[in-house]
Structure 1
Amino acid sequence: MVGRLIYLMGASGAGKDSLLDAVRGQLEAQRCRIVTRVITRSAEARGENAIAVSAAEFDRRRRDGDFAMSWKANGLAYGIPKEIDAWLAAGSHVLVNGSREYLHEARKRYPDLLAVLLQVEPEVLRARLLERGRETPDDIEVRLMRNSRFASNAGKGDENVLCLDNSGPLQDSVTRLVQLIGSSAHAFD
């Protein structure tokens, strides 16, 4: 049996990293591996558990074919290690923290991927982004508008995106994510 790629995406501040940390044990018990991304940012930067590399190192790894998928967003480059292909071929399911803008390309490479959009009520997202203090209020409003446009198209056409609200308690989102993955067609046969 071949594994399935679960492609989790959502706005910055939606709580993807918190959700991944909280759900890790439950998904690993269901033979689902959570990928550590390679990102061009400082190792001291707060946020997700990632492998931080310089832009030159990232480009070298991309040229050497070290990534199954890679993209640029918000001034950073992101890579998903090519090991996921071996994990999928061995029957493990693989969860990646993906980019909404890269979803179409990801579907070309992994047509059966399960796309999950982590959504948050705009007021909650605004408050989280303000609390982080990384962006200006104007930058936050741009993020909120971009998020609203993507969310309004989710699940339409050929995108086939499952939506998961993360506006409430984190444990509720953990439970719903495990249920979504477990009940989706061919997810955990």
Structure 2
Amino acid sequence: MPPVITNAYKTGNPVTSNIITQYTKPLLSKPHAVAELIQWGTIIVFDNLIGHYDRLVLYQSIGPLGNSRRSLERGLYNSLKSPNGKLWLIDNESAFFYQSKYQGPIYKYTQLLKFNDRMLQTVCIFQSSLVAELRRLSRQPSAFHYLFDFAGSYEPLLANVILDPRFELFAKIFNTRLGQILEWVEHCQTLYNAT
């Protein structure tokens, strides 16, 4: 995890364009540091949206000295890094964990939900293309069903998959999370003029 995000997690002050400007010289000494920082923002949004529970959750016990159950220097769990610095997310099966705990359509905040929200609030810098796609997705009657149908248009066997009984619950929570992420983006843009 980049130190600037670790610091934002500890202090509760999100990474903004002003903070990046303060870190410009150290970041420029590492060719892919700014790009990686922006990728981390996208990863945080993605994992928050899908409820991924084992990529970032290992960082949730960051202590006062910046240590955690997983060494922050070892890199991002369930990811690969290409020679040009691009982060590739793998093993995305660990999504919707917190939804699978529910027996009914009640949206509860568990420790994981609070952690995901806290991680989201570490960043106020977003790729404009990501924000545009999230907004476009939010205009769908159901973002979850839209994506499911989109996947089905490329994978005909998806129609034969037996859906989890909580499928509609997952859809509802996914759509709710999308709305919450966009609220945070709007908050950032209002306070920090972030994109």
TM-score, reference length from structure 2: 0.29
Structure having the higher strand fraction is 1
Structure having the higher helix fraction is 2
TM-score, reference length from structure 1: 0.30
